[in-house]
Structure 1
Amino acid sequence: MNFLKTNIYDDMNKNELSYKELLEKNNYILIDVRTPKEYQESTIPGAINIPVLLDEERVMVGTAYKKESQEKAKQLGIEAISKRLGDITKQISELSKKCDNIIFFCARGGMRSGSMTSFFKSMGYKTARLSGGYKSYRAFIIEDLENIVQGVTLITLHGKTGTGKTKILNELQNKGVETIDLEGMAKNRGSHFGHIGIPQDRSQKTFESLLYDAVKHRKNNVIVIEGESRKIGPIHIPDPFWDTMKEGVKILVEAPTEMRLDIIMDDYTGIDELKGNLLEVAEKLKRYMDGSAHSKFIDLVEHGEIREAARQMMIEYYDPMYNKSLNKHNYHEKVMIESIEDGIIKLKEVFKKHM
């Protein structure tokens, strides 16, 4: 380990490239050397997590840096890395068989990514580190999103709850139409009930990364999306994309009530603890609904009559709310559909006018 101790921090300012430069490269793999917790919160799409320090080790090193000295922090860091260096080397060795270049990054492009870059370069691997780390990547995509939406036309599908917009979007994508599923990226259906049946919401940072990649790697300049409010659950749509949505083509999708109920039942039934989730959210909506309507909804859920409960929520809460929202838009087209398949056929004809 003496070699590691004396040389691992050498040459840390060389073999760097910015994220903009990285976008011009091919056949590389990104290694996120931050802790599992940092990686879980947000990372660069496609990056693999091989942590230099585990969560508790990072706390220990950080505490030593603040309360003792930089040298003490380095010593503790090296001791922690040494325990797993063999396993880390095996992982890098396997990954190097798939890609020519290994690109390491940490939070700010400092000691963690610099040490791994220098060490594996000394072992003969083609390595570099991302200058400025994850922080510089974030700054780049936030700024560049405004550039890459220039010239993009967003065709937005609006409609009341249960009109099948997400299903239509997915089918359009399967048929080769350029789409972006904002709710899928946010892991939220964008309503008070939007989190039910979805394990967890995305972080804002992860959402912005996925959105940036989708726009950056589009195949053409016309993209179909689902109409959303500015917030999808806890997620905010970034200004450049939101402004492009407002300037795009707006299509209102309408569907019969029973079809809408079929779609809602397909989306929500079979979810574990559905009854408890519905009652929990309904309590939050109590102040927005007429007292008798709210009581009827609760009674229907309690008796397992989920379809009728959904009908009640549509009539008493969602439809009145959406009517106010939908009436704010000037639609380029209004399309009445009888099924998802019917919607695909009719919408593809509408798209031809705008593509």
Structure 2
Amino acid sequence: MSLRPLSADEALTRLAEFGAVLDVRSPGEFALDRVPGALNWPVLDDAERAHVGTIYKQIGAFEARKIGAALVARNIARHIERDAQNWPKDFAPLVYCWRGGNRSGAMAHVLAQIGFRVHLVQGGYKALRAAVVRQLDALAGQFQFEVICGPTGSGKSRLLQTLQRHGAQVLDLEALAAHRGSVLGALPGENQPSQKQFETRIWSALRGCAPERPVFVECESKKIGKLQIPAALLDRMHASPCLRLEVDLPIRVQILLEDYAALTRDPQELLKRLDTLTELRGKQTIARWRELVAAGDFPTLVQELLAQHYDPSYSGSMARNYQGFARSSAWPVAGSAQQAFDAVARQLAPQAA
């Protein structure tokens, strides 16, 4: 039998070595956070876990263990029959559960008895989570960030994507958070991850970057939608050099109309989001914007949102929070926005290589 225990730090360092990473917690636990690339092989699903917990509280541990053991045995058998039949003898899975106890131990034991080279995370997900938090704080201090600044609609996210295509290292926090960062920025049909999963995604993205090269990141406030940027990372961003996009208003309007096309196709959802600004902008202003939506005059709506909501606080907020903003270099974006972003990326990407 080949069964090797690993610390959480060693497991995270060696993730690429394993044939599969098996998270044997329930689907509900898995949905909240998991190791990048992990497969969910629950030995108890959410209902079964709740049922065993109820038996434990109402009757006792012995009865709960009997019922749980039967469920676990059936579920492990199903996973092996469905997913492990083509594994070679030298296949090396990594297995973890909540605390590295009964659930992962049962799965690891059976797989090891078959002859696979099983690795079991000591302390389970709780230890992995603690290691990710610890490592993320350390990673934030290892990189030189280049912060892309610019008012709403200047195409910061587009430049990030273009830089990535040109080979630069990029940390796209809004993509990782599944949110564009503004009050209107929730992505239609997509829920944000949990705070823990957001941090795991950031950790995973930074692990893939080389510390000797700069990492481009968009300026952000403390929160992206409902999610908080880790303090160590935000502090590092605030202290980093900035580059500033300068974009004429018509181009900004066009960029926003393209980026928020899903909202202009769904006026009711747009109205719902505009209503959240009532306390800030007043009923009269919101009524005016609702009239523009009803008339389908989205270019005017965007111009007024920029002038009355987004732009007034931009420069002051940047100057307060980003030390490099006052000394930031200006990068004009004119004509065809995408061609301009390509031109900027060609100049910046060689500096990152």
Give the secondary-structure state (helix, strand or coil) at the position aligned to 2:188.
Answer: coil
The one-letter code sitting in structure 2 at the alignment partner of 1:349 is Q
TM-score, normalized by length of structure 1? 0.90
Q: Distance in 2 between matches of 1:336 and 1:85?
A: 59
Residue in structure 2 matched with residue 341 of structure 1 by the alignment? 339
- 1:24 and 1:158, CA in 2 relative to 1: closer, same or farther beyond 3 A? same
Higher mean C-alpha deviation, range 167-176 or range 19-28: 19-28
Residue in structure 1 matched with residue 251 of structure 2 by the alignment? 259
The one-letter code sitting in structure 2 at the alignment partner of 1:342 is A
Higher mean C-alpha deviation, range 280-289 or range 141-150: 141-150
Mapped contact 1:252–1:331 kept (Cα < 8 A): no
Matches within 5 A, 1:301-320: 301-320=293-312
Q: Distance in 1 between matches of 2:345 and 2:165?
A: 14
Report how far residue 198 of structure 1 moved. 4.7
> Alignment partner for residue 51 of structure 1, among 42, 57, 74?
42
Residue in structure 1 matched with residue 229 of structure 2 by the alignment? 237
> Alignment partner for residue 300 of structure 1, among 292, 296, 311?
292
Give the secondary-structure state (helix, strand or coil) at the position aligned to 1:76.
Answer: helix
- 1:272 and 1:91, CA in 2 relative to 1: closer, same or farther beyond 3 A? farther
Residue in structure 2 matched with residue 280 of structure 1 by the alignment? 272
Residue in structure 2 matched with residue 218 of structure 1 by the alignment? 209
Report how far residue 321 of structure 1 moved. 2.5
Q: Where does the alignment leave 5 or more consecutive residues of structure 1 unmatched?
A: 1-10
Higher mean C-alpha deviation, range 187-196 or range 75-84: 75-84
Residue in structure 1 matched with residue 33 of structure 2 by the alignment? 42
Matches within 5 A, 1:19-168: 19-22=8-11, 23-24=13-14, 26-94=17-85, 96-97=87-88, 100-168=91-159
Residue in structure 1 matched with residue 326 of structure 2 by the alignment? 330
- 1:92 and 1:125, CA in 2 relative to 1: closer, same or farther beyond 3 A? farther
Give the secondary-structure state (helix, strand or coil) at the position aligned to 1:209.
Answer: helix
Listed one character per residue, the Cα deviations across residues 235-268 of structure 1 (whole Å, up to 9, x for unaligned) are: 1111221121112111111211111111111112
- 1:240 and 1:250, CA in 2 relative to 1: closer, same or farther beyond 3 A? same
Residue in structure 2 matched with residue 18 of structure 1 by the alignment? 7
Q: Distance in 1 between matches of 2:209 and 2:7?
A: 22
Report how far residue 112 of structure 1 moved. 0.4
Q: Distance in 2 between matches of 1:300 and 1:246?
A: 37
Mapped contact 1:268–1:274 kept (Cα < 8 A): no
Mapped contact 1:293–1:312 kept (Cα < 8 A): no
- Please tell me the root mean square deviation across aligned C-alpha atoms, in Å: 2.4
The one-letter code sitting in structure 1 at the alignment partner of 2:31 is Q
Q: Distance in 2 between matches of 1:74 and 1:17?
A: 26
Mapped contact 2:264–2:270 kept (Cα < 8 A): no
Give the secondary-structure state (helix, strand or coil) at the position aligned to 2:146.
Answer: strand
The one-letter code sitting in structure 2 at the alignment partner of 1:283 is D
Q: Distance in 2 between matches of 1:342 and 1:98?
A: 54
Q: Distance in 1 between matches of 2:241 and 2:219?
A: 11
Q: Distance in 2 between matches of 1:85 and 1:107?
A: 17
Q: Where does the alignment leave 5 or more consecutive residues of structure 2 unmatched?
A: none
